[in-house]
Amino acid sequence: QSVLTQPPSASGTPGQRVTISCSGSNSNIGSNPVNWFQQLPGTAPKLLIYNYNQRPSGVPDRFSGSKSGTSASLAISGLRSEDEAGYYCAAWDDSLNAYVFGTGTEVTVL
């Protein structure tokens, strides 16, 4: 059972903004950096955001991350069809001594 909770699904039309939440606790999001991963159908996960709001080179600035207390969020602006994928938050948990992933959110472009 994951300790990071995400909504199971999110959707929007092309060009819209979609936001995905990730709820955790003081032992994970509250005290450690959060990464976000994108998993396109049938492929390996890919780093999208690291350290709450940093983008690796090559990731469009349509993707942005933020954190407030023990929650984090991923925003996708200017939604595109190629953004249809699974999105996972993740962070180290100091109480579990384990890296924990969120439950995952499937984004659909209508």
Partner 1 sequence: EVQLLESGGGLVQPGGSLRLSCAASGFTLGSYWMHWVRQAPGKGLEWVANINQDGSQKYFLDSVKGRFTISRDNAKNSVYLQMNSLTAEDTAVYYCGRAVGGAESYWGQGTLVTVSS
Please report how close the Cβ of residue 19 comes to partner 1 at its closest, in angstroms: 19
Closer CB to partner 1, 50 or 75, in the complex: 50
Q: In b/e form, how buried is each residue of 91-109, taking b as 16+ CB within 10 angstroms?
A: bbbeeeeeebbbbbbbbeb
Sorted by sequence, the CB contacts under 8 Å of residue 27 that are 6+ apart come out as 93, 94, 95, 96
Restricting to residues 34-73, name those near partner 1 by CB under 8 A: 35, 37, 39, 43-47, 50-51, 54, 56
Beta bridge partners of 68: 71
Closer CB to partner 1, 19 or 103, in the complex: 103
Query: Quick one: which of 19, 30, 33, 84 contacts partner 1 (CB under 8 A)?
Result: 33
Closer CB to partner 1, 56 or 69, in the complex: 56
